[in-house]
Structure formats: C-alpha cells, structure tokens
C-alpha cells in the first residue's frame, strides 16, 4: 500500500498515512501528540525516479536517423506540400552552400 503525506493545517506538522489507491483522501486525522482530530491537507511530493541509459531523450532516437539524412530530406519534400514555408526555407539553405562550391570549382 502506498504511503501518503498529510499536513495538519493548524499546526503545520506532517504525518505519513498508508492508504489504498481506492481510499479517499483524508480531511481529518488524529494528531499523534495531542490525540485531537484536526483538519489535514494532502501534500504532493515529487517522485524520485532516475532514468539511466539511452532512449529517454528526444535526441537519443535520432542518432541512427541522422545517418539516414537523405531519406529525411525526401520526407521533408513530401511534407512541404502541407507546409510550404517550412519545407522551402530548409531545402534551399543546404542546397545553396553545396551549389556554391560546385560553381566555384567549374570556373
């Protein structure tokens, strides 16, 4: 069963309570020191998860697809019909530097 943290609204103290997933959040709890029933509020804490290894970042999967850049360019030209400004601006930029050295070599 998961453990949840509740904070006493009046005193600011916190307690940990084990509850089932199906149980409703508490609105009141017995204070361990005084024995009084006081209003509580559920405290949300960040989850301690650490991802190790490759494949967790957006760029990790692109390492192999960057070697297939020509096929990506083909896909970009296909999608340029739906977004002409994006496809057109990215296609001439790589072509212009490639064409400039070729023209200089021919002269």
3-state helix, strand, coil in the chain (%, to 5): 35, 20, 45
- At residue 76, the pLDDT reads 45
Side-chain-facing half-sphere of 15: CA atoms under 13 Å: 19
Over residues 75-104, mean pLDDT? 47
Q: Whole-angstrom Cα distance, residue 25 to residue 2?
A: 12
pTM over 0.85: no
Looking at per-residue pLDDT, the higher value among 36 and 107 belongs to 36
- At residue 1, the pLDDT reads 86
- At residue 52, the pLDDT reads 78
The DSSP symbol for 70 reads H
> Of 26, 48, 46, which Cα lies nearest the Cα of 16?
26
């Amino acid at each position: 069963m998961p453990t949840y943290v509740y904070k006493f609204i009046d005193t600011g103290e916190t307690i940990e309570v084990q509850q089932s997933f199906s149980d409703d959040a508490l609105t009141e709890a017995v204070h361990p020191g005084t024995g009084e029933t006081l209003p509580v509020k559920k405290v949300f804490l960040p989850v301690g998860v650490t991802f190790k290894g490759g494949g967790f970042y957006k760029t990790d999967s692109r390492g192999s697809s960057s070697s297939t850049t020509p096929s990506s360019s083909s896909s970009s030209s296909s999608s340029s019909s739906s977004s002409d400004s994006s496809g057109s601006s990215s296609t001439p930029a790589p072509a212009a530097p490639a064409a400039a050295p070729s023209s200089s070599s021919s002269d």
